[in-house]
Amino acid sequence: MKDLLDNIAWHTLAGPHSKFAIGDGHARRYAPGFSPIVGFADVRSPDFDALARCCGAGDRFYCMDWSGAAPDGWQIELDSTMFRMVWDGSMPEAEVEEWGDAISLRPEHAAQAVELATLTRPGPFGPRTPELGEYFGCFEGDRLIAMAGERMCAGSLREISGVCTHPDFQGQGLARRLVAKLIRRQLLRGETPFLHVMRDNESAHRLYGRMGFRDHCEAIVRVISQR
């Protein structure tokens, strides 16, 4: 599991999500419309020439676990770290499965999901991101006010991602209950939940720790683009 986690983007894009990705045996990315994430077969010596062959002008990507200098023709727009956390808790109560306010998000909810993600910035997100796994949301009328879902996966690992709540509805525990619902469903499938939280998001880091996640590592995360 450690080997998969330490280069999870590559193992996802070259493995279970290869049908959603473009690239070759050295560099792969999610296809346009999905989360703009790239993976390299070797993060210690990433092949940017291979990446250039599957991206276009103006593309910006999130790149994990790579710490080298940007090669000619590329620039680093954001250089930060995030905690990669793995589930180490007990099974959430069955009541989270029966919570009536959470509904499954479908393709017709894509615009609402993008609107909420644009407002709250939970991480890289595209209109087709909810196709990568189960996504659940809470609505007030036609407005999506909270959501959480699944993104990367490899082996038994399944990422919880896109966790966000509209600012007008924070403090009600909506996101926490959505995450608990996903955790329970993953554990019942024999999967191991994991997630990412930015280094400066101390409140979310503490919350996930209280829920039952433990730190696996503090991983580098960058936003890169071609010059």
What are the boundaries of each domain within the chain?
Answer: 2-82, 84-218
pLDDT confidence tier of residue 57, bands split at 50, 70 and 90: confident
Residue 100 has pLDDT above 80, yes or no: no
User: What pLDDT is stored for residue 2 in this prediction?
Assistant: 78
102-156 tens-digit pLDDT:
999 999 999 999 999 999 999 999 999 999 999 999 999 999 999 999 999 999 9
Mean predicted confidence (pLDDT) in 41-55: 96
- The answer to whether residues 222 and 40 touch, using CB atoms and an 8 Å cutoff, is no
User: What pLDDT is stored for residue 33 in this prediction?
Assistant: 96
166-206 tens-digit pLDDT:
999 999 999 999 999 999 999 999 999 999 999 999 999 99
Q: Any idea which architecture 84-218 has in CATH?
A: 3-Layer(aba) Sandwich (3.40)
Considering the chain, what is the average pLDDT of its residues? 96
